[in-house]
Amino acid sequence: MAKPHKHRNKWRIRWKDHLGKRRSAVFGDYHEARREQCARQAEVDAIVAGTKPAPPPDATFGELCDFWLKVKTPQKKKARDDQSIIRCHLRPAFGALPLKSLGFAHVESFKVAKGHLSNKTVYNLLTLLGAMLRYAIKLGWLVKMPVIERPRVRVHGAEYSYLKSNEEVCRFLHAARRDGEDAYMLYATAFFTGLRQGELAGLRWAAVRFEDRLIVVERSFESTTKAEDVRYVPILDDLLPLLREWRLKTPGALVFPNGRGGMHRPSARIFQERLHRVLDAAGFERPGPGVRQVHYITFHDLRHSFASHWVKNRGDIFRLQKILGHKSIELTMRYAHLAPSEFSHDFSIFSAVGAQNQQWQVAAPTCMGIQKTKQIQTPARLPKGRVPLVEAVGRGHNWAK
């Protein structure tokens, strides 16, 4: 190991790191330079021997973004979401920052800068940021992840639109039938099954099991379902004859093909413009100015309508969770408020126990042979000639005098 050598008025040291790359540093004192040289050489020897982990490379967050978009994003179902968040939010805020210096203060400043966005949006931004930083730790680019405090978001809020009554459902479906049988069957199936837009577009007749009265949901458009699993949805009595008749009219593989026999895309008119036309024909009013939603309901709100009417008609909420494909019951509980009348049958469920308990409380002292005795705290030392209060009361004395 070479000794420190003179560099102008200071001392320079040179060494090779664990990757074999030449390094150098300058110090004002020879002895300080010598100590640092020995310490850094010992660190390199320990890393090479495997007794000490290697330090992370001097990578920036922008380099992590590039690696994430190249390796991780293509594996995700909604790659465009990551691309948009990184391009519009994360890279502008953290791109030039070294990963090792990214800390809690930077994250908090980012939250302040995004204060004009909703809590749900900020929550999603920070969720992706956390996932990327955890991936950086796996890559060895980061040793410790900074604390990320995401805003609280209501998971099962009751704020959503849906067809609120049987009259609204009938009015909507009647208008859909007049618009076209393809629209009527798609909207009716959406209401009676709760399937998502992509699940209906990608549904094939092979997945409709009439003999078992089940629909096997395993795809959304041309990919897997949102939860990436398979679930089974019952074919209800009102839907069964409609589907049987529709099967005779659509001999192709898809249950709901477009006009060319292919699959409906997410931007298909039947999910948007035709739906709005049907709502107008059914007499539903559009929201006023300043409201983000275009019409009374969206296509996804037919799923909310199914779940809401299921609960209002005393359907089991845990069975509903399986039908909708929710991983957590918390998501399904957003519909529970629609069945408050269900508790009217439960208010007196323990009335027999309560009545018996009340009788027992009255009869218990006699039955158990227990006498109520008032506990009196007596002083440790009594004045001369005085007796405890219990004895005094028994003798007729007034101890207080």
Based on the fold, state whether residues 317 and 171 are members of the same structural domain. Answer: yes
Residue 389's pLDDT band, with cuts at 50, 70 and 90, is: very low
Please give the tally of structural domains in the chain. Answer: 3
pLDDT in tens, 307-344: 999 998 888 889 999 999 988 888 888 877 776 565 56
Using the 3D structure, point to which of 87, 122, 139 is the last residue of a domain: 139
Helix (H) or strand (E) holding 244: helix 240-249
Cβ atoms within 10 A of the Cβ of 370, count? 9
Residue 202 lies in a domain: yes
75 and 43 inside one domain = no
CATH for 72: 1.10.150
**Best CA proximity match to 61, nearest among 12, 14, 129, 8:** 129
Here the tokens at position 42 are 């010992």
Cα 65 from Cα 97, distance rounded (Å):
12
Where is the domain boundary, 321, 341, 361? 341
Task: Provide the sign of the torsion angle of the four alpha carbons 224, 226, 228, 234, taken in this order.
Answer: negative
Question: What is the average pLDDT score of the chain?
Answer: 84
Q: Are 163 and 151 in contact (CB under 8 A)?
A: no
User: If DSSP codes are grouped into helix, strand and coil, which group holds residue 181?
Assistant: helix
Among candidate residues 313, 341, 369, the one where a domain is terminated: 341
What's the first-to-final CA gap in the chain, in angstroms?
100
Dump pLDDT digits (tens) for 263-310.
999 999 999 999 999 999 999 988 877 666 778 999 999 999 999 999
The token pair that represents 285 in the structure block = 């009013």
What are the tens digits of pLDDT across the range 6-61? Answer: 888 899 999 888 778 888 899 989 999 899 989 988 888 888 888 877 666 788 99
CA dihedral 290, 294, 295, 300 (to 10 degrees): -120
Helix (H, G, I), strand (E, B) or coil at 54: coil
What is residue 16's predicted lDDT score, i.e. its pLDDT?
A: 86
In this prediction, residues 50-74 reach a mean pLDDT of 85
Using CA atoms, how far apart are residues 85 and 137, in angstroms rounded to an integer? 21
The Cα 210–Cα 248 span in angstroms is 13
Q: Which domain holds residue 223?
A: 166-341
CA distances to 32, 69, 238 from 65, rounded to whole Å, are: 39, 6, 51
Total residues belonging to the chain: 401
Q: The whole model's pTM is what? A: 0.62
pLDDT tens-digit map of 151-175: 887 655 557 889 999 999 999 999 9
* DSSP at 206: G
Return the H-helix or E-strand segment holding 309.
helix 301-312
Residues 6+ apart with CB under 8 A from 82: 68, 69, 72, 73, 76, 128
